[in-house]
Structure formats: C-alpha cells, structure tokens
C-alpha cells in the first residue's frame, strides 16, 4: 500500500459546512417548537378545545412526514465535499484491469430495446483498452426483438466506436449525440463526411 497512488483527493468545503449546519440546527429548533405547539393541543382540557381533533391530527401527521423527509435530505449538505481527480496518474493501458459490464433487461415493452442498445453502444465506446473491456447483455425475457436489436447494435458499433475514439467524442450515446449540437470538428470536412455517414448507417 505504500506505493499506492491516489487517483483523486477529497476536500471538505468548510464555508458550506458552516452555513449548512447552522441552517439545519436553526431549522431543527423551529421544527421542535412547532411540534411542541402541535402536541400541546392534545393535552388541553377538553372545554378549552375549539378546533376539531381529527383535522388537527391529520395536519400534525402530515407535518411529521414532511419533517422526516427534510431531515433525510440534510445528509448531503452536512458534509459537502469536492474532489480533484488526476487522470494523468492512471497506469499504462497494459496495467489496467479487465472489466466486465453487464446490462440487464427483462421486458422490451417497459424497457425499449433501442434505449437498451444505446446503453450497450455507449458502454462499448468507453475510453478504455478494448481488449480489456467486455460488455454483456442479459435478457431475462428472451425477446426476439432484443436479439435482433443486439445484432443491429453490434453492426453499428463496428463503425460508431472507432468514430468516437478517432474524434474523442464526449457523448458516446448515439441517440443523445445526434439529438444534441455537439460538433467538436465543425471546420473539418472529413469529420462532417464521417458524421453524415454515421447518421445513415
């Protein structure tokens, strides 16, 4: 472990911590006062109660649920951090481990095969040594549509993956890429020709 090189560093955001915790504490105090006010209603002498009990109880229960949701949402703000990454510290490609990516699908009606194949192609186009990257599709439904789409995706990926790596595309998902305005090589006629070819494949 002595020779281990950290790929990132984690830093606490001190000012955000102070602001978030102060807000959470003040908000909690206000909530406790409100809960005390709501509970005191139930301990009043019956002749002093002029408000129907059931609506008051329903409001109190709904407020408790909102308090709980708010409390759970405070976890991300209690200790906000930011990370600094060091991609230059990555080992050489021959020292990177092999990785397997499993993409599971079960119902082509609820999970359209086209969207699943966009995920598959995106995984295949990851910036990782291709000989160490293995993508598997698991179809629990055994759908013919998924099988046909997988074959089509494989044929398209033979052109798409080299295209992504050649031009260093940030968006590797074909559907997202063609529906966005990403065009890092606007002045390149070669890029435009290849991009047009990708659209018709």
- CA pair distance 43, 29, nearest whole angstrom: 21
- CA pair distance 186, 165, nearest whole angstrom: 17
Quote the pLDDT of residue 1: 47
Pairing of strands 99-105, 133-139: parallel
Quote the pLDDT of residue 49: 62
**Residue 11 token pair:** 């830093």
pTM: 0.60
- Segments in the chain below pLDDT 70: 1-4, 45-51, 181-187
Q: Is 14 annotated as a binding residue?
A: no
3-state SS of the chain is CCCCCCCEEEEECHHHHHHHHHHHHHHHHHHHHHHHHHHHHHCCCHHHCCCCHHHHHHHHHHHHHHHHHHHHHCHHHHCCEEEEECHHHCCCHHHCCCEEEEEEECCCCCCCHHHHHHHHHHHHCCCCCHHHEEEEEEECCCCHHHHHHHHHHHHHHHHHHHHHHHHCCCCCCHHHHHHCCCCCCCCCHHHHHHHHHHHHC
Residues whose CB is less than 8 angstroms from the CB of residue 104 and which lie 6 or more positions away in sequence, other chains included: 138, 140
Quote the pLDDT of residue 166: 87
- CA pair distance 124, 134, nearest whole angstrom: 8
Q: Is 100 annotated as a binding residue?
A: no
Pairing of strands 81-85, 8-12: antiparallel
Quote the pLDDT of residue 40: 84
Quote the pLDDT of residue 68: 92
Q: Is 132 annotated as a binding residue?
A: no
């Amino acid at each position: 472990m002595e020779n281990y090189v950290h790929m990132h560093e984690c830093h606490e955001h001190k000012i955000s911590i102070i602001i978030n915790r102060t807000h959470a504490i003040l908000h909690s105090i206000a909530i406790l006062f409100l809960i005390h006010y709501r509970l005191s209603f139930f301990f009043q002498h019956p002749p002093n109660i002029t408000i129907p009990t059931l609506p008051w109880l329903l409001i109190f229960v709904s407020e408790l649920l909102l308090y709980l949701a708010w409390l759970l949402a405070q976890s991300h703000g209690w200790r906000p951090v930011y990370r600094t990454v060091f991609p230059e510290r990555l080992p050489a490609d021959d020292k990177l481990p092999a990785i397997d990516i499993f993409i599971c699908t079960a119902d082509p009606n609820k999970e359209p095969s086209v969207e699943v194949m966009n995920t598959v192609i995106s995984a295949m186009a990851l910036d990782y040594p291709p000989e160490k990257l293995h993508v598997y599709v698991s179809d629990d439904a055994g759908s013919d549509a998924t099988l046909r789409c997988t074959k089509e995706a494989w044929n398209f990926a033979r052109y798409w993956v080299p295209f992504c790596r050649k031009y260093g595309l940030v968006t590797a998902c074909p559907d997202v890429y063609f529906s966005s305005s990403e065009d890092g090589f606007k002045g390149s006629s070669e890029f435009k020709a290849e991009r047009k070819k990708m659209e018709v494949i």
